[in-house]
Structure 1
Amino acid sequence: MSLMTTGKTDLDPAPLTVEDLKRMPDDGQRYELVDGRLDVSPAPVFAHSRVESRLTIHLGVIAPPEFEVVSTPGINVNADRTHHRVPDLAVIRADAEESPYLTKPPLLAVEIVSPESAIRDHHTKRQEYEEFGIPSYWIVNPDPALPSITELRLEDGGYREVTTVVGENVLKTDTPFPLSVVPHWLVALGNRRKHVGGSDEAAG
């Protein structure tokens, strides 16, 4: 007696969903999902955390009350909850809060590049955020010698690079609200509160 097979077995694992993330250890690593597969990033180093904190505080201080600046929000990128991303920072409308995770595109997503995340941030997440419909995406390079911010905006279904601002130059944009920020003061020692917004006035 012969057996006919299809090449598949019952041992094939089912796609993971966000419910499975609850079982992940609280070890400081970032757990994301890509098409039902786990995507794990190491805990951020101090330089990364410093940029994330400074940018979150700066944008939070200058954001109009109808906006909210959120650090590391979980976002379900598809309805099956098998694709889950955690940007370093996001801006949403205050009335768009969802729990436990966002399911609609934030107005802005920000990723701070680390050596192990460069391909993911510049290519993989760029495509995912583009397809999900996030209107604005920033890629921040925290290199102390040459920090930079690249601003991308969604136009006709694809991201267009608006500008890349380096060092002590000022990024000025009106998306998601009028703001300015100096990459240098996201990484440098000194009176960053006075200069991070590109002016001599305290920015928070």
Structure 2
Amino acid sequence: MAVVASGRTVPKPGPLTVDDLQHTPDDGRRYELVDGRLDAAPAPSSLHTLATGRLTAHLSYAAPVGMLVMDGPGITLDTERTRHRIPDVAVIRSEDFQMPYTTRPPVLAIEVVSPESVFRDHHTKRREYAEFGVPSYWVITPDRDKASIIELRLEDGEYAEVSAAFGEEVFETSVPFPARIVPQWMLRLDGDWRAHIAGPEETEETTRPPAGD
């Protein structure tokens, strides 16, 4: 095993723990731990950052008191502290806030998929978050042509897909709190995203059931 420090590899006996992450270089990459091994991801792309920033802001506005929407929080997944993940966005209860990293399951974890993270986000992290007991998991694909949100919820220890939205469709959920998101408005640059990201406002006319014959 080894830890990276100042651009060089330093041998270290045994598995790495979250304490070793302080020795990783400040090079823009994201360093996580998988069973004591470093898992390094490159700096996120512009689309990834745009989607993450808008999603964090939108969910923060929608979150009720007592819920914290956090951009890239560190989460330690095991008591040995050899598994450590950094979801792109997470929602935690205020009483679960810890420093320097949380060791309690967030109520929602969100990953924005990058080209190199497709398997990690759809499979590896899906399994890890389920084992950790994260009740809700979103996987977001920041595609300029047809962005998407897939919502999974924990059922009997495994995630099951419960909803999905693509492009200009409205994604709507009640977990962990009510929220509406149009996937494409996480990325569009041709208007005020804040006015459109939740979709068209529901009115009495649009929600009224059709009159009987």
Distance in 1 (CA, whole Å) between partners of 2:95 and 2:35 is 29
Aligned to 1:156: 156
Distance in 2 (CA, whole Å) between partners of 1:54 and 1:135 is 23
CA deviations over 1:86-108 (Å, ceiling 9, x no partner): 00000011121011101010000
Aligned to 1:87: 87
Distance in 1 (CA, whole Å) between partners of 2:95 and 2:198 is 26
Amino acid at match of 2:155: E
After TM superposition, give the deviation of residue 13 of structure 1 in Å.
3.3
Runs of 4+ in 1 over 2 A off after TM superposition: none
Distance in 1 (CA, whole Å) between partners of 2:192 and 2:43 is 27
After TM superposition, give the deviation of residue 186 of structure 1 in Å.
0.3
Question: Superposed, which structure 2 residues align to 1:109-188 within 5 Å?
Answer: 109-188=109-188
Q: How many residues end up aligned between the 2 structures?
A: 191
CA deviations over 1:106-148 (Å, ceiling 9, x no partner): 0000000010000000000000001111000000000101100
Distance in 2 (CA, whole Å) between partners of 1:12 and 1:121 is 28
Structure 2, gaps ≥5 residues long:
1-10, 203-213
After TM superposition, give the deviation of residue 200 of structure 1 in Å.
4.6
Aligned to 2:210: none
TM-score normalised according to structure 2 size: 0.87
After TM superposition, give the deviation of residue 17 of structure 1 in Å.
0.3
After TM superposition, give the deviation of residue 12 of structure 1 in Å.
8.6
CA deviations over 1:139-172 (Å, ceiling 9, x no partner): 0000101100000000111101001110111111
Distance in 2 (CA, whole Å) between partners of 1:46 and 1:134 is 28
Aligned 8 A contact 1:108 1:134 in 2: yes
CA deviations over 1:19-75 (Å, ceiling 9, x no partner): 000001111100000000000000001110000000000000111111110000000
Aligned 8 A contact 1:180 1:197 in 2: yes
% identical equivalent positions: 55
Aligned to 2:13: 13
Distance in 2 (CA, whole Å) between partners of 1:57 and 1:12 is 40
User: How large is the Cα RMSD of the aligned pairs?
Assistant: 1.3
Distance in 2 (CA, whole Å) between partners of 1:113 and 1:50 is 13
Amino acid at match of 2:63: A
Aligned to 1:65: 65
Give the SS at the match of 1:60.
helix
After TM superposition, give the deviation of residue 198 of structure 1 in Å.
1.4
